[in-house]
Chain A
Amino acid sequence: MEITVNNLTKRFEDKLAVNDISFSIGEHEFLVLVGPSGCGKTTTLRLLAGLEMTSAGEIYFGERRVNDIRPKDRNVAMVFQDYAVFPHLTVFENIAYGLRSRRVARNIIQESVPAAAKTFRIDHLLKRKPRQLSGGERQRVALARALVRDADIYLYDEPLSNLDAQLRHQAREDILALHQRKLRPSIYVTHDQSEAMALGDRIAVMRGGKIEQIGTGTELYERPNNQFVAFFIGTPSINLFQVTLRGEGEVIWADSSAFSIRLPEELYPKIRSHVGKKVQFGIRPEDLHVPKRAPFPVDADTMIGGVVNVIEPSSTGSSVYMSTLGEKSQDFVATFNLRLPATYLNKEIELAMNLRRAHVFDLETEKSLLYS
């Protein structure tokens, strides 16, 4: 059963929390919602669950328009940002809550509750009260409660945000495994990009109540529609420089105070209209390379120079924080899959840009010239 949302709007007094969004989720799809705090993610979920009335627009569960259907009749499962585990009920009763509400036969409850608990490895805690559980265990109770029954749609509101990395990883696996078993449309809100990438069939990026772009992780990363998506997806964020496009015969150059580079030809058809104008030029940190190790031919026209300010080792290599040379110096980041020795600190180095993976955005509309 597919979920379709048409022109959905939610207004709180004068605040537009969700602004005219449309999207659909395929029958087996796992959609991840990301976006900055306050952009309307939770509100969107609550609209789907029926906890908020829509201000405009429509929500369809399959053929059924659910706008006016109460939450308890929508057959939605939801994991809340703050768990909302009932403190006065045992773990067993918490998990059984939805089944009892729906008058599921006693013997089925006796079977399915321990099974769901087992999935989340809390089957040994069934007799406890939430007070006697760790934060992670409580989280899993919330998950088990939502997932013990067959819902038409599963909604997760940052369910793992309070867990440590390891637990989070495990829970993520559990959720995914469960999803693969149930194969029902799911929406998952998170702040964690790696989580978004790992879980989502598709990812929707929201900003200010609007969906900026929906697509697979790779799509969003490699072909962002606009500067916001480009900036929001990827850690560290994409480096943006204001440049002027300069045509020099067949060649288009991007000039800034810090550098002057020659753009590759395959970009020309999309950017030619902006020659002579200022644009935002974007290059992801991973596309900056130490010249000697660059997986592409390097020349002086692809280079950016800078002073090394901070070297931050990471699991896979290092992130290097730098400032451009010249008068108006600007900070930027590069990530390497090698460890840059500390001796480079405060040294001036030159890096090569993989310009085939560069992005160019309109200065006003912030739209990508290359991918929109």
Chain B
Amino acid sequence: MAERTIPGGQTEEAIQAAPVESAPLRLSRRSRIEKWMFIIPAALFQLVWGWFPLVFAFALSFTDARVRGPISFIGLQSYTRMWGDPLLGEAFRVTFIYAAMSIVLTFVIPILVAVLLMEMPPRVMRWMMLLWFLPLSGIASTILWKYMYNPEYGLMQGIVRLLGLPEQRFLNDPNLVLFWLIFPGILLFGPGLIYMAALQGIPSSYYEAAEVEGAGFWRKIWTISLPRLRPVISMMLTFAIIGSLQEFYWPQIMSGGGPGSASRTVVMYLYNLWGNLRFGDSTTVAIFLFAIIMVITVIYRTFYKEDPDA
């Protein structure tokens, strides 16, 4: 997804630097040297490709930067300008709704589905997984979905008609366009497969012990499946939050941000600003987004402590 490497996209790496617990093993001198041999290039790489652009963007946001010619510091001009920009406010509104919806629909729902699937007989489950796996590559195609969503001859309208529901305008409907952009992601079930892999790693004796101890279906899910999924959920949720707040590709290709501004995300907006040679404004928006993602991630990390027992 080359389209994602947009200006300001540096924020991604910066936030992904989540704390990782390293095993405090006693290493021999030699393997300690080896350890540094691996870590130093990675750290340098992160510094150069992750933090440097961020610092650079930060610096840029206080200038009237142009590609050529003199650059002068203009203080907080970009900040006040973008703070007062109604379209940016709108883009943030869209982005938050998009993120919330996509987290509920493509993140929370798959947890439930995966958990329920695990209760199926193994044979059924294997078939279901195959059913999901096979079309994986094709399902994420924007071209396919553009056809699917065509209000005249698209397959989705066919299904809607078949179900006797009122005809839909799909991507042309400003109230539902975000939902339809997320919808393929629901079918994609990507996180679901990861949950299922994680669920399969839970020893069955936990469930059996619970059963013997009188636990019913929901209690088993609540007291075993979900707690055991915690580390996976935690990691995936971090990615989902960061990823959905930086959504660009699907709305850009599928709806171009429309109709109106109904699906224009913050990253799309800052991309447009960049396109109009408004580098300072564009990076300012990137800094806004970075700050918001940072705050959300920190809050989330604080409330959602890593659990070494899970």
Q: Which A residues form the contact surface with B (CB < 8 A)?
A: 46, 49-51, 70-73, 75-78, 80-82, 84, 86-89, 97-98, 101-102, 129-131, 145
Interface of chain B, helix or strand or loop or mixed? helix
Among B223, B228, B230: residue with most chain A CB under 10 A = B223
**B166 located at the interface, meaning its Cβ lies under 8 Å from any Cβ of chain A in the complex:** no
Q: B208 near A98 (CB under 8 angstroms)?
A: no
Q: How large is the interface on B (under 10, 10 to 19, 20 to 34, 35 or more residues)?
A: 20 to 34
Q: A49 near B212 (CB under 8 angstroms)?
A: yes
Other-chain residue from A71, A102, A129 in contact with B309 (beta carbon distance below 8 A): A129
Q: B203 near A82 (CB under 8 angstroms)?
A: yes
Q: A51 near B211 (CB under 8 angstroms)?
A: yes
Instruction: Please give, as numbers and ranges, the residues of chain A lying within 8 Å of B203 by CB-CB distance.
Output: 82, 84
Instruction: Please give, as numbers and ranges, the residues of chain B lying within 8 Å of A89 by CB-CB distance.
Output: 223, 227
**B3 located at the interface, meaning its Cβ lies under 8 Å from any Cβ of chain A in the complex:** no
Q: Bound complex: CA of A7 vs CA of B242, how far in Å?
A: 60
Residue in B closest to A87 when the chains form the complex, CB atoms: B309
Q: A101 near B213 (CB under 8 angstroms)?
A: yes
Given contacts A88-B227, A88-B230, A98-B214, contact A71 B310 (CB under 8 A): no
Q: In the assembled complex, how far is the CB of residue A80 from the closest CB belonging to chain B, in whole angstroms?
A: 5
Q: B224 near A71 (CB under 8 angstroms)?
A: no
Q: A78 near B216 (CB under 8 angstroms)?
A: no
Other-chain residue from B214, B228, B230, B309 in contact with A72 (beta carbon distance below 8 A): B214
Q: A102 near B214 (CB under 8 angstroms)?
A: yes
**B21 located at the interface, meaning its Cβ lies under 8 Å from any Cβ of chain A in the complex:** no
Q: A72-B211, A87-B309 are in contact. List 6 more A-B contacts (CB 8 A).
A: A80-B205, A80-B209, A87-B310, A88-B230, A88-B307, A98-B213
Instruction: Please give, as numbers and ranges, the residues of chain A lying within 8 Å of B209 by CB-CB distance.
Output: 78, 80, 84, 86, 145
Q: A71 near B230 (CB under 8 angstroms)?
A: no
Residue in A closest to B208 when the chains form the complex, CB atoms: A51
Q: Bound complex: CA of A70 vs CA of B216, how far in Å?
A: 10
**B215 located at the interface, meaning its Cβ lies under 8 Å from any Cβ of chain A in the complex:** yes
Other-chain residue from A88, A129, A145 in contact with B228 (beta carbon distance below 8 A): A88
Instruction: Please give, as numbers and ranges, the residues of chain B lying within 8 Å of A72 by CB-CB distance.
Output: 211-216
**B219 located at the interface, meaning its Cβ lies under 8 Å from any Cβ of chain A in the complex:** yes
Other-chain residue from B213, B219, B230, B308 in contact with A145 (beta carbon distance below 8 A): B213
Instruction: Please give, as numbers and ranges, the residues of chain B lying within 8 Å of A98 by CB-CB distance.
Output: 212-214
Binary interface encoding of chain B residues 226-241 relative to chain A, with 1 for a CB under 8 A from any of its CBs, else 0: 0110100000000000
Q: Bound complex: CA of A131 vs CA of B310, how far in Å?
A: 10
Q: Bound complex: CA of A98 vs CA of B216, how far in Å?
A: 11
